[in-house]
Structure 1
Amino acid sequence: MAVKKACESFSKSLMDEVQRWGCMKQTGVSLRYMMDFGSRPTQRNFIISAQFLHKELPIRIARRATELESLPYGLSEKPAVLKVRDWYLDSFRDLRTFPDIKDAKDEKDFTQMIKAIKVRHNNVVPMMALGVQQLKKEKILHDGLDEIHQFLDRFYLSRIGIRMLIGQHVELHNPNPPPHCVGYIDTKTSPMEVAQNATEDARSICLREYGSAPNVTIYGDPDFTFPYVPTHLHTMVFELVKNSLRAVQERFMDSDKVAPPVRIIVADGIEDVTIKVSDEGGGIPRSGLPKIFTYLYSTASNPLDEHSDLSDADAVTMAGYGYGLPISRLYAMYFGGDLQMISMEGYGTDAYLHLSRLGDSQEPLP
């Protein structure tokens, strides 16, 4: 199976270059820097930003491509993982063959190219999940989980950063940005409003899946706002609420008691904005808690199988390949926050989502 190495479809010189770039130092940026820089969308700034990405993206992509080549337990040989690796190598090649950016026209062409790279990588998460799934079937994973888990943490954290940098640059070109928005960053993100929207989304999925959905009550200051990326925040809150709804729904499904509501509390501190999602869905046994942030654990049945069509992999299911929580935690960590779960088995679970308010923390670069 190991016959089809990358060198067959990619030249040796390209592979050598990937090795070389993968050893270069990455440069992290902070939310605040992205905000300050993007708030002056001049042609000159667009060019500076494009020049930075022209050098930074190949380094980050090369690191991941190199790692994809050398995964333990034959994971690198799985068809799904080979596909992901090819996407990374194609993107590296596109970036490296693009000439230096000197003027507005170069910048415009470059922006179109990185936009296409972002689309090419849309299905990386379900595709990697499929690869790990293929490995899981072989049941050889009992002791190597840590290694694979750490790789996936680095891999997905890096992916969040790459997509943020590309998305931010592309979005700055939007001629009609929404009010208060600098690229992807909303300088006046309302956590209450995001929680409201995420809750509606999660409840409609729960309704579709179970025919009913517990209520959700949200507490906090509706006027409070802070700079953040609303799509990231929505992803995290949606995931937590969806898990809570599912737990409560399944616990009270056949009971004559009314299902207790899920409670969301938004607190704004000086350093952190904390969002707590609390449910009475029966909790998680203590032995299961360490597993909830690994990529190979889901209490729900797995929607991915060999034959699933990945083109509609973005169709959200109520519970899935067990990636929601670990990836939400990476989103939180990306801008200096964290996600913690505290559970009382037999009662319920509290999730604490900490978001750094200062926006000064550098991207964590795996």
Structure 2
Amino acid sequence: MNTIIRNWTRQSTPRFRFFYAKTCPSISPSARRRFSSEPPLIITNSEQQLILDQAKQPQTSVSLQALMRTGRGEFLHKTFAEEEREKHAATQLVLIQVASFLRRELPIRLAHRIQDLEGVPILRDMESVLAVRDLYIKSFLEIMSFDNKIQTAEQEAAFALMLENIYERHSKVLVQMARGAYEFRKAVREEKGPGLELEEEIHHFLDRFYLCRIGIRVLIGQYLALRQPPVENYVGIICSKTSPYEIVKRAIDDSAFMCTRKYGDAPDVIISGSLNLTFPYAPTHLHYIMLELLKNSMRATVEWHGIDGDFPDIKVVIADGAENEDVVIKVSDEGGGIPRSNTKKIWSYLFTTADPSVQEGMVGTPQGIDHGRDAPLAGLGYGLPISRSYARYFGGDLSIMSMEGYGTDAFVYLARLGNTKEPLPI
């Protein structure tokens, strides 16, 4: 069965809309202002020692299945005695249990990232990266100042309010860090570069930083979503019956909108394969991955064939079988492919094919979002590497195969069982 998609009308679930709005809100006028220069955060010796102490603690990896089972209350017996479970509503006990875990875990993760931000060469001295570091320190100290034992509904509600503020406060971090990478690229061009070895180190730092940032936002986002009214088939941000077909349709809608806005038209997309497949996953993650791949395919197709040309269809295949280890989604285009010399560069945060004026406009007037359909069709050069981080977060992967002069195939691998733990760096 094939489905041809052109202009699809969004009909997303309430939970998808709730978390999508949290992740990708509309751009407000205030969000378009340039980041203001603020004096660096001054911390005391005791606060610095607190960060060092927390950074020595190991991070606790979680899996998609663990998030779901915790949200369903399957681990309450590990925290609460039977008499407590009988006296209180299970939902409230779940929230207290999750909040208690986050009160312990988030300072450790933030401390690791603070040390990472302070240790990366050159990038650490750039104003935008210093601002991110200060943001992490502020959030770290705020959480550490909260009572380390969350035992009542009132304490849990206060903790949730604090985390919601932190979640919103950190929504600009991706673009802030992109500004640091842009400034680094600019310095490389002007000073003929600090050398391949340093570029590799900075790339690995950014890869590590963004993967860990995904983890922090998943933990907070899952907790905040658990506090919302229940939605059928959802446990927090995870849908037990995520439909790749429906997510791909949403991504086609958004990418076609962006392509049409820029070029006046967009290629059609044909979806085939296991259209009725559902499995447990985070719909927002899959949507982001598919949006980036389809944006790239549409842009390449239009530019390769010309705005007035006949566009060949983009093809999406959803593959699955009862014995398959992964759900695999392939996106194929005839957009001219990628030169072999660029196949490694496409995974670098320091490489983009976008016009420098677009990059400068994006980082010079940072948006208050991580990603969304209001963004340009290409700009930061972050789409593919961050998409791969999203895929890898729950045990999957993303790979690209290209034939220069013809087109590109992108393969998204998603773990079906959801029992793979986060690949957190030490």
TM-score of the superposed pair, with normalisation by structure 1: 0.95
Counterpart of 2:297 (choices 215, 227, 244) is: 244
Superposition pairs of residues 343-362 of structure 1, within 5 angstroms = 343-362=402-421
Distance 2:181 2:339 in 1: 25
Asked if structure 1 preserves the Cα contact closer than 8 Å seen for 2:275 and 2:318, the reply is no
Higher RCO (Cα < 8 Å, 6 or more apart): 2
Residue 273 of structure 1: SS of its match in structure 2?
Answer: strand
| 2:330 match | 276
* Structure 1 residue 309 displacement after superposition: 2.0
Residues 1:173 and 2:256 are matched in the alignment: no
| 2:346 match | 292
* Structure 1 residue 178 displacement after superposition: 2.6
Residues 1:259 and 2:297 are matched in the alignment: no
Distance 2:39 2:47 in 1: 13
Residue 106 of structure 1: SS of its match in structure 2?
Answer: helix
* Structure 1 residue 254 displacement after superposition: 5.4
| 1:136 match | 185
Residue 287 of structure 1: SS of its match in structure 2?
Answer: helix
* Structure 1 residue 288 displacement after superposition: 0.6
| Alignment deviations for residues 15-37 of structure 1 (CA, whole Å, 9 cap, x no partner) | 11111111110101110011111
- Counterpart amino acid of 1:79? E
Residues 1:199 and 2:232 are matched in the alignment: no
| 1:16 match | 49
Q: 1:268 to 1:285 in 2, by over 3 A?
A: same
| 1:83 match | 131
Q: 1:209 to 1:312 in 2, by over 3 A?
A: farther
Asked if structure 2 preserves the Cα contact closer than 8 Å seen for 1:135 and 1:141, the reply is no
| 1:364 match | 423
| 2:283 match | 230
* Structure 1 residue 304 displacement after superposition: 3.4
| Alignment deviations for residues 25-81 of structure 1 (CA, whole Å, 9 cap, x no partner) | 010111001111112362112111111100100000000011111211x21111100
* Structure 1 residue 334 displacement after superposition: 0.2
* Structure 1 residue 231 displacement after superposition: 0.3
| Alignment deviations for residues 113-149 of structure 1 (CA, whole Å, 9 cap, x no partner) | 1111111110111100101111221113432111001
TM-score of the superposed pair, with normalisation by structure 2: 0.82
Asked if structure 1 preserves the Cα contact closer than 8 Å seen for 2:333 and 2:407, the reply is yes
Asked if structure 1 preserves the Cα contact closer than 8 Å seen for 2:215 and 2:422, the reply is yes
- Counterpart amino acid of 1:309? T
Distance 1:353 1:251 in 2: 24
| 1:159 match | 213
| 1:50 match | 99
- Counterpart amino acid of 1:338? D
| 1:28 match | 61
Asked if structure 2 preserves the Cα contact closer than 8 Å seen for 1:266 and 1:274, the reply is yes
Distance 1:88 1:145 in 2: 24
* Structure 1 residue 103 displacement after superposition: 1.2
Distance 1:166 1:68 in 2: 21
- Counterpart amino acid of 1:280? E
* Structure 1 residue 255 displacement after superposition: 6.2
- Counterpart amino acid of 2:106? L
5+ residue gaps, structure 1, are: none
RMSD across aligned positions (CA): 1.6
Residues 1:317 and 2:376 are matched in the alignment: yes
Distance 1:134 1:222 in 2: 44
Asked if structure 2 preserves the Cα contact closer than 8 Å seen for 1:199 and 1:216, the reply is yes
Aligned residues: 359
Q: 1:194 to 1:69 in 2, by over 3 A?
A: same
| 1:218 match | 271
- Counterpart amino acid of 1:235? Y
| Alignment deviations for residues 271-301 of structure 1 (CA, whole Å, 9 cap, x no partner) | 1000000000010011110111110111122
| 1:187 match | 240
- Counterpart amino acid of 1:353? V
Q: 1:254 to 1:98 in 2, by over 3 A?
A: closer
Counterpart of 2:72 (choices 39, 43, 50) is: 39
Distance 2:289 2:194 in 1: 28
Distance 2:159 2:205 in 1: 30
